[in-house]
Chain A
Amino acid sequence: MRTARRISQILFLLFFLFLFFQARYPYETWLPSDLFLRASPLVAIATILATRKVIASVLIAFIILLLTVPLGRFFCGWICPLGTIIDGSDNLIKRKKRKPRQRESTRFRSWKFAILVAVLVASLFSVQFIWFFDPIALLTRTITTVLYPVFSFLLLGLFNFSFSTGLFEDQVYSAYDMAQNSILPIAQPMFFEAVLIALVFVGILALGMVTRRFWCRNLCPLGALLGLFSKFRLTKRFVNETCNSCSICQRECKMNAIEDDYAVNNTVECIECMECISNCKPHSVSYKFGKNIGKNEIDLSKRRFIQAAAVGLAGVAIAKTSAVSREETGQAIRPPGAVKEDGFLDRCIRCQECVRICATTGGTLQPSFLQSGWEGIWTPISVPRLGYCEYNCNLCGQVCPTGAIQNLTMEKKQKLKMGIAYFDKSRCIPWYDQQDCLVCEEHCPTPDKAIKFDIREARTPEGVMRTVKFPYVDEKLCIGCGICVTKCPVIGDPGIFVTNAQAERIEV
């Protein structure tokens, strides 16, 4: 059973990574790359609670929830890619050996229920914290902004080194070509927030030094949610009379779910990993259909419940009194097709799928820091100096699991304003230096260029008269894609910038 579970874990992790790699231009696939995100019941419940709307794309999550009722937390033990990675890293960590019959503490495991209560209470009041905790969003975010950039940095470096040696050039190039069309990005993705996101992930893995699956046991609100539903599971763990009370099952249980009476396990905590069956020398343990005799209480007292709800409400109050309100979007330039800011913040789970796929085309999206307030941390924003919104691309809307970015038709997207560009005449070369430049105009992608120019005589500081092409923005035509900013040759701050003025947000 252990082998079967491990195979399942590895296959699902590979499938998860496969879907991750799918999220790239040209994205011609029938399998949605955001499948795992849409299948997370926590994402589904939190976004539906916050928006008070039925969001069709996340409804598949309820299949997982329904299956949990008879099968228990199979998702945690057999599918969850974060769980698999934690298992893998736990195997590398040496912990202090425990004496026989010395059980690990269970005191922290109520925290995950408290977190679940706090974040769902906040969701109910339309303030989202769920994005920080949902394991699928957390992992997708970490891979996009940390693990994949590191991977591609190393692989690109290897290729560049091979190219510089000039050895086996044609073979190396074929390999490079193949890699570019499958796993390598065209340009190295780089993210401002990578370090913060990495710290969270490293922290989660490091908690493995305390106990195995510390995150899953004590913190993961998705695990807590699935635990609530697995209370009623239809299978039972059965221990027969050959049991010699050696306590190995308890000590080796990933979730510390086996009670001091080894015949009893906590079905809310158990993740169906079957380690206890495989570890049992006398083969005393089996799984059978039938009424569960296990302990199935949820470790959350009324007092803790109220405390957690109060914490959630406090979070709501703090978020609502932030200087950046939801009616305005601060400095954030949102991706094309983003719903109105209020709904956007309800829906966005910071999974970075949009950021991921954008990095394979124009590369303008970045997880934000405080540009849209505390409530908007790690939501996608356009940073046009680093990359631009490709005129012929609408992929971010195609991979958004929750509809925070709507899937627009190309025709609609090409007319939609993300913002407007403005010249900074104190920096723009023709205005500042009385010389022709027009790199911005060259790259402007709208068929009738939004950057136009006047030809006028200008006097240089030396008193020479010159004919210069002076650019300006036609705000009716500008869609705020930002390629003018990306390509502006002025060193340092560019001679043109985009703001979210006139941004068209989708009403849903």
Chain B
Amino acid sequence: MSTLNRREFMAISAGAGIAASSLLLSQKLVADDAWALVVIKNGSPAQLVRQAINTLGGMSRFVKKGQTVLIKPNIGWDRLPEQAANTNPEEVAEVVKMCKKAGAKRVRVLDRTCNQARRCYKRSGIEAASKKAGAQVRYIVKSRFETVRIPGGELVKSWPFYRDALEADVFINMPIAKDHSISRVTLGFKNIMGIIGGDRGQIHKDFMTKIVDLNLAIKPTLTIIDAYRILLRNGPSGGNLADVAVKKIVIAGTDPVAVDSYAMGLFDIDPTKIEYLRKATQRGLGQMDLSKVKMKVVDLSA
């Protein structure tokens, strides 16, 4: 008969404790996992994001200890946060903090900008806020694009993608909801264009097909749409405060199609009229018909 010494006993009981608690936690997760889409209303940007992730089951559902995270906000433009051309910096910072807290080894924030990168990173406020929250904020380096084959692609069969996004264990897509004359509204699907290389202008031809092709190549773990402020007209660059509407909403979920589909409603657009959402649903990237999506709406002011 073997006897346990004190150290072994401690180790086993600690292990058992962890196992038991994780079992409890995972049960809780399973329950919350049912939400593919959450919509949080009426709070500060940080509150909205925090509530969204907690409602989805907490950041530990997406980020495991020691994992690497890439957050891809929209930092495309040399504009201030109030002008609603870039993702809200407080929301990005909050997600960084939550990833760190969940035990992420490394959290990176980057975007391939439209205006000059340093200007965009600085004036959007995202660089400073994310760095403060503990992220590595990086400029795009040309040599880090890798060509990815897209077997299911209809028009785009292969395209260069940014290595950091391909290699990250967790990829969090964080667009801001904005008017856009080609995609109608730029949301999660369009935001993927910030991690692709090559001549992006070519994507604008047959955009509705090509954007779905690109989204076949990389699927975000989580999509968080910043609709704290949305840009209604003259997007995606904006610049006029009269075109900005303060909505105080964050939409998040694991189904990238559902998330975009819901956000179309903020612009009074019927998502079934949007070709890329139809195509994406057909190809099994998600569900645009919100009646088929498990969705939870939380109003923080209520």
Contact = CB atoms under 8 A, between A and B. Distances in A.
A469 B183 CA distance: 12
A390 B119 contact: yes
B78 A392 contact: yes
A361 interface: yes
Given A163-B143, A447-B238, A448-B240, A435 B205 contact: yes
A442 B207 CA distance: 13
Contact of A186 (B117, B123, B144): B117
B116 A163 contact: no
A59 to B, nearest CB: 33
A163 B144 CA distance: 7
Interface string B217-244: 0000000000000000010111110010
A389 to B, nearest CB: 11
Contacts of A447: 234, 238-240, 243
A502 to B, nearest CB: 21
Nearest to A441: B181
B119 to A, nearest CB: 6
A163 B141 contact: yes
A282 interface: no
B9 interface: no
B116 A442 contact: no
A312 interface: no
Q: Is the interface of A mostly helix, strand, loop or mixed?
A: loop
Nearest to B201: A489
A180 B239 contact: no
Contacts of A360: 116, 118
Interface string A136-176: 00000000000000000000000111011000001001001
A448 B234 contact: yes
A361 B141 contact: no
B237 A443 contact: yes
A446 interface: yes
Contacts of A177: 138-139
Nearest to A455: B181
Nearest to B243: A447
6 contacts: A25-B118, A177-B139, A392-B123, A437-B205, A446-B239, A489-B201
Interface of A: 25-26, 159-161, 163-164, 170, 173, 176-177, 180-181, 186-187, 360-363, 390-393, 429, 433, 435-439, 441-449, 453, 469, 487-489
Given A360-B116, A447-B240, A489-B201, 4 more contacts: A163-B144, A392-B78, A433-B205, A442-B204
Interface of B: 78-79, 114-119, 122-123, 136, 138-139, 141-144, 180-182, 199-202, 204-207, 234, 236-240, 243
- For the complex of A and B, list the 7 residue pairs with the smallest distance between their C-beta atoms, beginning with the closest: A489-B201, A447-B240, A447-B239, A160-B143, A439-B201, A437-B204, A392-B78
